[in-house]
Amino acid sequence: MGRAAAASAAAFFMAFAAELALLPLAVALAPALPLMAVLVAPAMEEGAKRLCVAWFRLPWLPVGLGFGLLEGGFKLWQSGAWAGGLASVALHAALAGFAARYGVLRASLPLHAGFNALVIASEVGLGLPAEGAALGLALALLLASRRLPVDAGQRPA
């Protein structure tokens, strides 16, 4: 297993374990579940990826892409939603581009939280299918992130 795959797997399972540990709280606060998806999940995932980028001394893109592949595969296995799985891959690859250029706290964390909020709002408020909205937004972020300078291994704070 390559270092990038190991880092991606470590980040995914750290975030997954942290979110799973908070699941009883989310169930107890069911009306606050969207709040958990908008605030807690992005913080856990972006924090875990940042830790793994630092621990494994890797550029952001392989870690973000690997994380997205793992999350997308899990979504596909869980619900059979191809669009949701592809959205995860595109989103985490895009967030890696933003994190590499601007840092986690300034870019990828707020973008991730905003992405989740927009997907929930489009599903609940507009009645759009969540997977379709997520895929469209994720592809737009991916296109925007690819216009940024290439990640040369620099890891901003």
- Helices 60-79 and 3-21 pack at an angle, to 10 degrees, of 50
Domain ranges of the chain: 3-146
Answer for the pair 36, 20: CB distance below 8 angstroms, yes or no.
no
Mean per-residue pLDDT over the chain, rounded: 82
Our CA angle for 2, 142, 130, nearest 5°, is 105
Average pLDDT over residues 81-98: 92
Residue 152 confidence (pLDDT) above 70 = no
Average pLDDT over residues 55-77: 88
Answer for the pair 68, 93: CB distance below 8 angstroms, yes or no.
yes
Q: Name the residue with tokens 């990640």.
A: 151
Distance CA 145, CA 5 (A): 22
Q: How many C-beta neighbours within 10 Å does residue 154 have? A: 10
What is the reported pLDDT for 1? 54
| DSSP-derived secondary structure letter, 153 | S
Distance CA 123, CA 116 (A): 11
Answer for the pair 122, 128: CB distance below 8 angstroms, yes or no.
yes
